[in-house]
Amino acid sequence: MADIAHIESISSLENLRYQVSSGVDQVYTSLQLVFNSIDHERTACDMYLTKGQSLVEKWSVRAESARRQAEAIQCELDNLPADDDQNDYSSQRAALTSKYEDAVSEAEEYESKRDAVAEITGQIAENIRQIGMACDTLLNYTLRAESEINNQGRNAVSAIDRVIVVARQYIARRLT
């Protein structure tokens, strides 16, 4: 760096300084965009997880309600008196049995939806976990790149500054 004998022009050096300095600034700025994007990616999929969890809750509540209804109908069926010579409960029994079967079928349908939604939500959660890990890795790479740009890049600019000072002194000495 000390050999400046062949440096002809301060303005060329200043141009070099500008190119290096602005290049370093641009790389630094573009790395900040990566940081912002990492934050964005971390939260982008969370809404799908929330949606999945609320759907699991929705179908669970419906399935439990249908199961309770089926149990209540079963109680009514159990409490129905046996037929005797004066009373025939067969039509009531048939109606309750049909209602019971509908309630059980409804509960099974809701349970099936709940399980399917839970399975998909689990896969979404796993993907979000992977995204989080990949974001952590990328964050570390980006922090390191930022540090290198700050250290090496700014050092390069400082080195050119020092050369410019020496070059100015050299030219001043030649002029006197």
Give whole-number Cα distances, 5 to 2, 37, 71, 156, 171, in Å.
9, 47, 98, 20, 10
Amino acid at 37: S
Q: Does 164 bind another protein (CB under 8 A)?
A: no
Q: Does 94 bind another protein (CB under 8 A)?
A: no
Q: Does 24 bind another protein (CB under 8 A)?
A: yes
- Residues 44-63, mask of contacts with another protein (x by CB under 8 A): xx--x--xx--x--------
The site for another protein, by CB under 8 A, has a size of 61
Smallest distance, Å, CB 141 to another protein? 5
Is-contact 121 49, C-beta < 8 A?
A: yes
Q: Does 162 bind another protein (CB under 8 A)?
A: no
Q: Does 175 bind another protein (CB under 8 A)?
A: no
- DSSP secondary structure of 30-71: HHHHHHHHHHHHHHHTHHHHHHHHHHHHHHHHHHHHHHHHHH
DSSP 147: H
CA gap 141, 157 in Å, rounded: 23
Q: Residue 91 is encoded by which pair of tokens?
A: 């039509």
Closest C-alpha among 62, 66, 64, 58 to residue 117: 58
Q: Which stretch binds another protein (CB under 8 A): 63-71, 83-91, 140-148, 165-173?
A: 140-148
Q: Which stretch binds another protein (CB under 8 A): 70-78, 87-95, 98-106, 118-126?
A: 118-126
Looking from the CA of 41 toward its CB, the CA atoms found within 13 Å total 18
Q: Does 116 bind another protein (CB under 8 A)?
A: yes
Q: Quickly tell me which residue has 């022009």 as its tokens.
A: 9
Smallest distance, Å, CB 82 to another protein? 44
Binding site for another protein (CB under 8 A): 1, 3-9, 12-13, 15-16, 19-20, 22-24, 26-27, 29-31, 33-34, 36-38, 40-41, 44-45, 48, 51-52, 55, 113, 116-117, 120-121, 123-124, 127-128, 130-131, 134-135, 137-138, 141-142, 144-145, 148-149, 152-153, 155-156, 159
